[in-house]
Structure 1
Amino acid sequence: MSLQQLFMIIKARYKIALITLFVITLATIAASLLLPKRYTASTAVMVEMRTADPVMGNIDSPMTAAYLPTQVDIINSDRTAQKAVKALGLSNNSAVHDKWLQTTNGEGVFEIWLVELMQKGLDVKPSRDSNVITIAYTSADPTFSAAVANAFAQAYMDTNIELKVEPARQNASWFQGQGKILRDNLELAQNELSNYQQRKGIVITDERLDSETEKLSDLNTQLTIIDSTSADTRSKISASSNAENLPEVMLSPLIYNLKADINRLESKLKEASINLGSNHPQYKSMQSELSSLKLQLEKETSHIGRSYATTEDVSRDKADNIRSLIAAQKRKLFELKHERDEANVLLSDVTSAQKAYDAVSQRFTQTNLEGQSTQTNVSVLTPAYAPLRPSSPQPKLYTLVAIVIGTLIGIGFSFMSEMLDRRVRVADDIEQSLGIPVLGELRKQQSAMSRWWRNTRILRRHKKIEFST
């Protein structure tokens, strides 16, 4: 179908199009005047994408692209709506309760119905180029719309805080329970260490072990000295067959004097044997005195030899005693080291329990503070106020839309009417319908007025041509 055909159809059926346009426009205007007025109040909240931790002071990393859509879903959630309902006190409103009874006949849960009713008028839109979210609410009462919009904004901020602090509170509760267990473990480990020290009756320290080790070293030193002295004494005892060569014999003043007296008396005895003879009483007296001195020298020499044996016996006894002391000291030192090792194990248990308890206690303090935080990254930029003009209906806008839509529908009705009652409007209709060529075309007879107007234009044109020539 050509444009000419379409134009001729509309020209022929224009009354249908005008009637359709008039009816639709009139109905729209009537509906706009009869529909109840609704008012939309909106508030704007800003979401900070990077915030500082109120407890640790750390700055959080930037949020992802899905953060703002998530916040929109939180605002639209039942949890936020329940808080808004509670803040407005609608659950205790008898008028609202009566409306629920009329609407549902008492079926279902009143709170759920009320939340769904509140969500129907809610409209949440995030800004495309910023971190601002607009919360709008539409109802028949402008004051109520503003109150609901502000209630949803406050409920959203409260929910945002709860979503942040609830994990911290749960962690704090868990850390508190673990802290009690670890504190009991610490007290048990401390009691075991204390009981062990009391049972042993000692307090084992490195200083005491060093003292006991030094005592053992002193005993070993004494044993070494005694063993050296015993070896020297045994060598002297083995050489006691030639006692005159012993240093103690050679250095003894008594033996030295006895030897000197013997040498002097032997010289006198030789002289007396020459002068007096061997049977002289004086000679006999001198000989008897010499024998007495030799006997005394022999006794003194043998006494020194016997003293070595006595010294050896004393040294042996002392060495045995020191060896016993060394063995006892070694056992004591071994026991002390063993007790210290056991005490160190218990002390290590106490230290480990203390460290675990301190770590859990620190985490409990941190999470407990985080759970008490009331800081949020959401702030209200513009609170909602009661609107002065209704947001709907809008008669002017609706009328313009009705004109456009009515025009299109009127053209559609005109075309449909033409299809149901087809007429020949142009020459192409004959060729398309009958399939035969058009030989000639008779124009529609013009009216008298049309002919007069046509002749007048022709005369004027001819006069202009004559005047110009």
Structure 2
Amino acid sequence: MTLTQLLIVLRARWISFVVVLACAAALAVAANLLLPKRYSATAMVVLDVKSPDPIAGVVLPGANTSGYMATQADVFRSERVAQRAARELGMDKDADLQRMWRDVTQGVGDYNSWLADVLLRGLDVRPGRESNVLAVTYTTADPRNAARIANAFVSAYVGTTLDLRTEPAKQYSNFFDERAKHARDALESAQGKLSAYQQQKGLMATDEKYDVENARLTELSTQLVALQAVASESAGRQGQMGGNPNQMSEVLNNALISSLKGDLARQEAKLDEMSSKFGDQHPQVLEAKASIAQIKQKIDTEVRRVSGSVTANNSVNQQRLAQLRTSIEEQRAKMMFLKGQRDEAAVLMRDVENAQRNYDAVQARMSQTALESQTTQTNVSVLKNASMPLDPSSPRTKLNLAIALVVGTLLAVGVVIVRETLDQRLRTEADVIAYLRQPLLGSLPVDNRARPNGRLRLGLSKAGMFGGGMPRLAK
């Protein structure tokens, strides 16, 4: 059925359409009048999830997760919050409510749990879309009670979030207090062991003694290197003395030997001159030869003396070198002994440092948890307190009427279509071709005077056209 055909059918069967629509509207009005009126009061709270904790200095873990707001909504709807709200409202001591509980449950179960379940039936908590706001709505028959209970739930939720934060902190504070005592005892024990060891070994708290001995070892090593060079040089000179002592630097640089060699050279020159002049047997020549032999003897004596000093110097250097090596070995042994003592003391000092760090860490955590257990601030702030509603939240008259009109319209259209299906009529020229499957030869003009309402309907059926019946005019 096309839209044009549907409009023609609705125009033809408008009475049925109006009757069904009127019945639906009447039912909606009756429901609005018969249903009890209920009032809803709304409060709003905001959760600060970005600001750091004033005590810990960090953002609360899990506050930025996607399920944080849903978790807080579940906490709002928890039995613990409901029981706290009931205590704030004084319902836990209400005799009428206790009597109702006995009548309903025959005294079986917990009264506070039953009361919390009753209160939670009218509570609705909705997290804001992409926000940190919780909308708390409470619905009941009394507008004053709706506002009171909604505000009581908000207050109970704030108190419960504070308890959920301080109760673990109190437990942790007691735990860290015990751990601090053990840490302090361990620190005192480690310090006592270190002090006893230092007194026993004669060690100071610093490494001055070790540093002094290490500096002495370094100085001895430096002296050894220098003396090795000197001893090597003296040994080389001594070896040179065995080959040609006259070429030694000590001999060449000796002033007496140089003077004697000069005298020897002069005497030899004089001897050559005299020998060529007087002959080898002349007394002056003989005297000059004797003088030359005496000078050579003096030179040999002085060379032997210088060579002996080189040998003695080399012996002294080798002896000093041996003594210095012995001193270095003794100093190294002393250093190893001191190093062993220092290592043992270092182990004890590390024990003291570890015990101190452990004690400081426990003390810091104990101070922090003690502050957290005494805090009175939460990350929940009240944006809006619930006020007494002036208009009922249900039944919603306008909404119900609108829904009734929409549903009634659809139902009326359905009824019209069903009636038209059960009792088909030829209402347009296209219906003749569509339903009778016959060619259209002509159409009669409509005479508006034939009916008081100015319309004339021609009702034809397949039985009337082909079963010998006559066309029927339907007014």
TM-score by length of 2: 0.59
Q: Deviations over 1:23-58 (max 9, x none)?
A: 111111111111111111111222224324322556
Alpha-carbon distance, 1:145 to partner? 0.9
Residue 107 and residue 402 in structure 1: after superposition, are their counterparts in 2 closer, same or farther (change >3 A)? farther
Q: In the alignment, does 2:366 pair up with 1:367?
A: no
Residue 348 and residue 401 in structure 1: after superposition, are their counterparts in 2 closer, same or farther (change >3 A)? closer
**Where does residue 204 of structure 2 map in the other structure?**
205
Q: In the alignment, does 2:410 pair up with 1:408?
A: yes
Residue 161 and residue 432 in structure 1: after superposition, are their counterparts in 2 closer, same or farther (change >3 A)? same
Alpha-carbon distance, 1:388 to partner? 2.1
**Where does residue 420 of structure 1 map in the other structure?**
422
SS in 1 for 2:394: coil
Mapped to 2, the partners of 1:368 and 1:387 lie a distance apart of 43
Mapped to 1, the partners of 2:146 and 2:64 lie a distance apart of 32
**Where does residue 10 of structure 1 map in the other structure?**
10
Which letter maps to 1:421?
D
**Where does residue 83 of structure 1 map in the other structure?**
84
Question: 1:220-299 counterparts in 2 under 5 A?
Answer: none
Alpha-carbon distance, 1:374 to partner? 1.9
Aligned partners of 1:9 and 1:414 also within 8 Å: yes
Mapped to 2, the partners of 1:438 and 1:333 lie a distance apart of 130
**Where does residue 45 of structure 1 map in the other structure?**
45
What RMSD, in angstroms, separates the aligned Cα atoms of the two structures?
4.1
Alpha-carbon distance, 1:138 to partner? 0.8
SS in 1 for 2:435: helix
Aligned partners of 1:54 and 1:373 also within 8 Å: no
Residue 207 and residue 181 in structure 1: after superposition, are their counterparts in 2 closer, same or farther (change >3 A)? closer
Alpha-carbon distance, 1:347 to partner? 5.1
Residue 342 and residue 57 in structure 1: after superposition, are their counterparts in 2 closer, same or farther (change >3 A)? closer
| Higher Cα Rg, which structure | 1
Which letter maps to 2:423?
D
Which letter maps to 1:22?
A
Which letter maps to 1:383?
N
Mapped to 2, the partners of 1:333 and 1:49 lie a distance apart of 61
Mapped to 2, the partners of 1:208 and 1:406 lie a distance apart of 100
Q: Deviations over 1:210-260 (max 9, x none)?
A: 69x99xx9xxxxxxxxxxxxxxxxxxxxxxxxxxxxxxxxxxxxxxxxxxx
Q: Deviations over 1:105-145 (max 9, x none)?
A: 66665544443433332222344475433211111111111
Question: 1:45-444 counterparts in 2 under 5 A?
Answer: 45-57=45-57, 63=64, 66-100=67-101, 110-128=111-129, 131-190=132-191, 192=193, 204-205=203-204, 345-346=347-348, 348-443=350-445
SS in 1 for 2:124: strand
Task: Name whichever of 85-94 and 139-148 sits farther off.
Answer: 85-94
Task: Name whichever of 63-72 and 403-412 sits farther off.
Answer: 63-72
Residue 435 and residue 367 in structure 1: after superposition, are their counterparts in 2 closer, same or farther (change >3 A)? same
Mapped to 1, the partners of 2:453 and 2:445 lie a distance apart of 13
Mapped to 2, the partners of 1:378 and 1:2 lie a distance apart of 59
Task: Name whichever of 146-155 and 426-435 sits farther off.
Answer: 426-435
Task: Name whichever of 402-411 and 189-198 sits farther off.
Answer: 189-198
Mapped to 1, the partners of 2:431 and 2:84 lie a distance apart of 70
Which letter maps to 1:42?
T
Aligned partners of 2:82 and 2:119 also within 8 Å: yes
Alpha-carbon distance, 1:209 to partner? 9.6
Which letter maps to 1:391?
S
Alpha-carbon distance, 1:157 to partner? 1.8
Which letter maps to 1:44?
M
SS in 2 for 1:134: strand
Mapped to 2, the partners of 1:451 and 1:422 lie a distance apart of 22
**Where does residue 31 of structure 1 map in the other structure?**
31
Aligned partners of 2:198 and 2:204 also within 8 Å: no
Aligned partners of 1:124 and 1:135 also within 8 Å: yes
SS in 2 for 1:447: helix
Residue 2 and residue 341 in structure 1: after superposition, are their counterparts in 2 closer, same or farther (change >3 A)? closer
SS in 2 for 1:133: strand
Task: Name whichever of 334-343 and 10-19 sits farther off.
Answer: 334-343
Which letter maps to 2:84?
K
**Where does residue 235 of structure 1 map in the other structure?**
none
Aligned partners of 1:54 and 1:370 also within 8 Å: no
Residue identity (%): 41
Task: Name whichever of 117-126 and 363-372 sits farther off.
Answer: 117-126
Which letter maps to 1:135?
V
**Where does residue 264 of structure 1 map in the other structure?**
none
Residue 176 and residue 437 in structure 1: after superposition, are their counterparts in 2 closer, same or farther (change >3 A)? farther
Mapped to 1, the partners of 2:3 and 2:112 lie a distance apart of 61
Residue 208 and residue 375 in structure 1: after superposition, are their counterparts in 2 closer, same or farther (change >3 A)? closer
Aligned partners of 1:16 and 1:414 also within 8 Å: yes
Match of 2:449 among 444, 447, 450: 447
**Where does residue 295 of structure 2 map in the other structure?**
none
Residue 189 and residue 395 in structure 1: after superposition, are their counterparts in 2 closer, same or farther (change >3 A)? same
**Where does residue 465 of structure 1 map in the other structure?**
none
Structure 1: runs of 5 or more not aligned: 218-330, 453-469
**Where does residue 323 of structure 1 map in the other structure?**
none
SS in 1 for 2:145: helix
Which letter maps to 1:133?
L
Mapped to 2, the partners of 1:333 and 1:398 lie a distance apart of 100
Aligned partners of 1:54 and 1:375 also within 8 Å: no
